[in-house]
Structure 1
Amino acid sequence: MIVNWTLIISLQLLSAIKMAASRSPRFRIVRGKIISIKNAPWQVSLQVDRAHVCGGSLLSPSVIVTAAHCTQIYSAEEFRIRAGSNYWNSGGQVVQVKKITEHPMFNAATFENDVAILHLRAKLKLNRFTKSIHLASKEPQEGDRVSVSGWGATHDNSTNRSPVLLHANLKIISRQSCSASGYAKKERGITSGMICTSGNHKDACQGDSGGPLVKGGKLVGIVSWGIGCARKDYPGVYTNVAHYRNWILSNKNN
């Protein structure tokens, strides 16, 4: 039997593209409220050509953790980060990125293993506006209250970013409930490397990608993906920090 490998590969690629297109990376906070950087001093803005593209969290004066899908199409030399400011386009400290380490098993179609480490060219000066955050060692439980922050528009179909940092209070839902939501109809798997939230019409969305989900001052999640923004039956999905804690720590100092 003669196998048309070109056709098979093309069909597989088309399937992956369709799956990725239905899973939207997150660019904004829906129905968020203004928060001072003093209350989220680990929050940073990842920027390319002086434009905000993603969020991130400060792990040390020279190390940022973010989502791997944020770094897929850019080189380290193209990135800079802004820390210590309420605004993504002014204030605080700006430092260039030296090196990017993406999780080697990141899947751009399913958003599995959506985590990356950025090493900076210079150390940030820590102060009350710029502080590192500890990684959670245990994943949050169903019903736990968490907070997400980032810059961006406040409506699902808007492309305008908020110039000021926003946050929203959310609630953790079980992986089982998340899997049985609208994602079940679309056969979207929620793995052990993911956690989900609901928020009474509040949500992270495209551009908040890579930003922090926090509980009790510890990083429990990284903004990853979802279908739409704050849509009924489609919870927000985050990278489960506790699941990747060892990988993050082992690559933090490399």
Structure 2
Amino acid sequence: MFIQWIFLIFSATLVTSKWIPERIAGGHSVSIKAVPWQASLLKNGISNCGAVIYSERVVITAAHCDDETATFSVRVGSTNPDFGGQVVKVLRILKHEDYGLYYEISHDIAVIKLQTSLRMGAGVRSIPLANSSPPPGSLVSVSGWGRTGKGKEYSDTLLETTVSIVDQNACREAHYGEITKDMICAAAPGRDSCKGDSGGPLVFNGTLVGIVSYGRICAHPNFPGVYANVAELKPWILNAIRRL
């Protein structure tokens, strides 16, 4: 009985202090105005992946988010992935030709052309592509609506967290060698992108440095999150946009 009372008192304390479990994993809620380049990629009308606004007619996502049997659209300007903001139909998706060629997650990037232009504003803005990757130890931010941890629910509000760039060799060792130069890794204790965040932005100093790609276990200390390396893939991105 004593233990039950302690549990009830502890629970009441959490409620009255408005305690909220850590999210994205290990993140916090943000307004779309804080990350206006964030988009939600809708598969048959349902939020499936994240995406990033490059221009009024082009967004970027992960190649593994594509499904040739589905109809896609993009929602922007909303903190919730399922309603609000603007929804624009996808005209064409172009995946990297070497996606999955070396490893299942290699060259995990795609560009998307929209049927109509986005209306740009406070919650809908493009983000420039990075020219170089930040050095190991650099603090970067990642956002999305994915799971809030292994086996946990997807978030219905936009979440963001801060992680650090991990040395390429250390990441390669952690992932059994399956890391190539078109990937960049980031991690922090208890913080990570997770399932459902794929295609979303990894940002450093206002530039796009990565696209959420892969993780063995969300926020596991031994497995850094893996992202498509935007600086390394920038020539392909720009060429693909011209071909859309």
TM-score range, shorter chain: 0.7 to 0.9
Query: For residue 190 of structure 1, what is the aligned residue in structure 2?
Result: 179
Runs of 4+ in 1 over 4 A off after TM superposition: none
Shift of 1:180: 2.1
CA-to-partner distance for each residue in 1:180-207, whole Å, 9 max, x for gaps?
22x23xxx42111111111111000111
1:79 to 69, 72, 75: 72
Higher Rg of the two aligned structures? 2
Which amino acid letter does the alignment assign opposite residue 126 of structure 2? S
Alpha carbons 2:146, 2:193 under 8 Å: kept: no
State the aligned residue count. Answer: 220
Answering whether residue 139 of structure 2 is matched by residue 145 of structure 1, we say yes
8 Å CA contact retained: 2:189, 2:221: no
| CA deviation map 1:106-128 (0-9, x unaligned) | 00752101110010000000001
- C-alpha displacement at 1:169, in angstroms? 0.3
Question: What SS does the aligned partner of 1:100 have?
Answer: strand
Q: Does 1:46 align with 2:41?
A: yes
**TM-score for both structures, normalised by structure 1:** 0.84
Q: Secondary structure at the match of 2:117?
A: coil
Give yes or no for contact 2:186–2:226 (8 Å, CA) kept in 1: yes
Partner of 2:58: 63
| Structure 2 counterpart of 1:199 | 188
Q: Deviations over 1:133-191 (max 9, x none)?
A: 10000011101110000003312112x2211000110000110111122x23xxx4211
Identical-residue share of aligned pairs (%): 41
Amino acid at match of 1:233: N
Whether 2:91 is the aligned partner of 1:91: answer no
Q: Deviations over 1:11-61 (max 9, x none)?
A: xxxxxxxxxxxxxxxxx9212110111110000000112211100100000
Q: Tell me the equivalent position of 1:112.
A: 106
CA distance in 2, matches of 1:66, 1:152: 14
Picking from 161, 173, 193, the partner of 1:168 is: 161
Structure 2 gaps, min length 5: 1-22
For the 8 Å contact 2:25–2:147, the answer to whether it is kept is yes
Structure that is richer in strand per residue: 1
Distance 1:138 1:33 in 2: 28
What is the letter of the counterpart of residue 42 of structure 1? Answer: W
Alignment of 1:221-236 (within 5 A): 221-236=210-225
> What residue is the counterpart of 1:180 in the other structure?
173
Q: Deviations over 1:44-95 (max 9, x none)?
A: 0001122111001000001011100000x235x6001100111101111000
